[in-house]
């Protein structure tokens, strides 16, 4: 949807005002909910006008290009000021009035940024030590070591010590989540598979 010249003028004026507000305030101030979409539509309209004028009126084309450059410059300044504040906000819980100051696009950005920060925090505060990377167990690997069909062997359990953190492994009797140094009784076929992969040691009792 292209804008009228009056609408384009209003968007440009609103953008310049927003730049001044962001420069003068340390807090995130409320902007119109369609602010970002309006800037995008204004740029799209100006670029369409420039394409129309390039072959017929080079002077008009140059003026439009200058205006496009100004809008892009103003938006870059606004974006850097605004989103540097949002980055700081993402370090804390945001609710109430502060949350209501934000547009839909800014809320989406903050949610994603918070997820990234939380993931980094988990990495920095995880004190568990792993000598080797966590192995991956595929369904094909498990199928290479099927449980014995003989019921006597099936019901036979082995005491083992787990030597690596393992991802969840599905077995007929349920899912196993095994961690380094766990001491567990496992069915002999399953235990044999883990021991053969050096993910467990058999404990003699």
Task: Give a yes or no: residue 118 inside a domain.
Answer: yes
Q: Note whether 13 and 41 are same-domain residues.
A: yes
pTM: 0.58
State which residues form the domain around 43.
5-125
Spell out the residues 6+ positions from residue 101 whose beta carbon is closer than 8 angstroms to its own.
28, 29, 30, 31
**Dist CA 38 CA 4 (whole Å):** 12
**Dist CA 22 CA 9 (whole Å):** 20
pLDDT at position 151, please?
45
Largest separation between any pair of C-alpha atoms in the chain: 93
pLDDT at position 130, please?
53
Find, among 199, 108, 135, 132, the residue nearest to 161 by Cα: 199
Angle CA 182–187–190, to nearest 5: 80
Among 80, 101, 125, give the residue marking a domain's end: 125
Among 125, 151, 176, give the residue marking a domain's end: 125
Which CATH number do you get for residue 148?
3.40.5.50
pLDDT at position 157, please?
84
pLDDT at position 83, please?
92
Encoding tokens for residue 19? 């730049």
Each residue's pLDDT expressed in tens, for the chain with a length of 205 residues: 789 999 999 999 999 999 999 999 988 999 999 999 999 999 999 999 999 998 889 999 999 999 999 999 999 999 999 999 998 888 887 778 888 889 999 999 988 888 888 888 888 877 665 555 555 555 555 545 555 454 444 458 888 888 888 887 877 777 788 888 888 888 888 888 888 888 888 887 6
**Dist CA 150 CA 86 (whole Å):** 63
The tokens 């439009």 sit on which residue?
64
Q: Note whether 10 and 102 are same-domain residues.
A: yes
Which CATH number do you get for residue 62?
1.20.58.1030
Q: Note whether 118 and 174 are same-domain residues.
A: no
Among 102, 125, 148, give the residue marking a domain's end: 125
Q: How many domains does the chain have?
A: 2
Task: Give a yes or no: residue 132 inside a domain.
Answer: no
pLDDT at position 92, please?
80
Task: Give a yes or no: residue 134 inside a domain.
Answer: no
């Amino acid at each position: 949807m292209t804008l009228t010249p009056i609408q384009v003028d209003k968007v440009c004026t609103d953008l310049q005002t927003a730049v001044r507000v962001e420069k003068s305030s340390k807090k995130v101030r409320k902007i119109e909910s369609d602010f970002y979409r309006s800037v995008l539509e204004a740029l799209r309209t100006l670029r369409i006008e420039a394409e129309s004028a390039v072959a017929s009126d080079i002077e008009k084309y140059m003026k439009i290009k200058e205006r496009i450059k100004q809008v892009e410059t103003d938006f870059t300044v606004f974006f850097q000021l605004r989103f540097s504040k949002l980055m700081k906000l993402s370090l804390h819980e945001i609710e109430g009035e502060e949350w209501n100051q934000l547009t839909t696009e800014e809320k989406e950005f903050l949610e994603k940024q918070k997820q990234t920060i939380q993931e980094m925090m988990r990495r920095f505060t995880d004190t568990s030590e792993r000598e080797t990377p966590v192995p991956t167990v595929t369904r094909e690997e498990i199928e290479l070591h099927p449980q014995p069909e003989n019921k006597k062997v099936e019901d036979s359990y082995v005491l083992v010590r787990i030597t690596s953190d393992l991802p969840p492994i599905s077995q007929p009797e349920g899912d196993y989540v095994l961690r380094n140094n766990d001491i567990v009784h496992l069915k002999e076929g399953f235990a044999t598979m883990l021991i053969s992969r050096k993910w467990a040691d058999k404990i003699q009792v």
